[in-house]
Amino acid sequence: VTYATDMLGITSNTSFLLLDLREPDDYNLWRIKEAINYPAPNIGRDRIIPELYRFKNQPDKLIIVYMNDERNGTQYAQLLTEKGYENTFLLSGGIEGFLEDYSDLCEGR
């Protein structure tokens, strides 16, 4: 565990990595608590953050990605899978669907 990931609350006991694939402006407005901003274009550019490497294909670890809605996130979840991240999952309904059911787990305006 690096100092940076420890500051994010990511430890060896963390079972999932939650990646917000929206642009930083959208992420800064509102997001799911504990999500890390990782804009979707980074996937195509192979700009991989250390947290993503640590969770890649690890047993009992999930990489969960989301965008505003599920349609937008599908291609990026598939791209991560094609790049070898076989434990990648897309948040059903996107953040907008999540907010409707779990507003207490979101933060921002």
pLDDT of the residue at 9: 52
Q: What is the pLDDT along the chain (109 residues), one digit of tens a residue?
A: 333 444 445 556 778 999 999 999 999 999 999 999 999 999 999 899 999 999 999 999 999 999 998 888 999 999 999 999 999 999 999 999 999 999 999 998 8
The pLDDT of residue 7: 43
Residue spans of beta strands (DSSP E) within 13-108 = 16-20, 30-32, 36-37, 62-66, 88-90, 106-108
Distances (CA, A) of 72 to 9, 18, 61, 79, 108: 28, 16, 23, 12, 21
Per-residue pLDDT tens digits for 69-100: 888 899 999 999 999 999 999 999 999 999 99
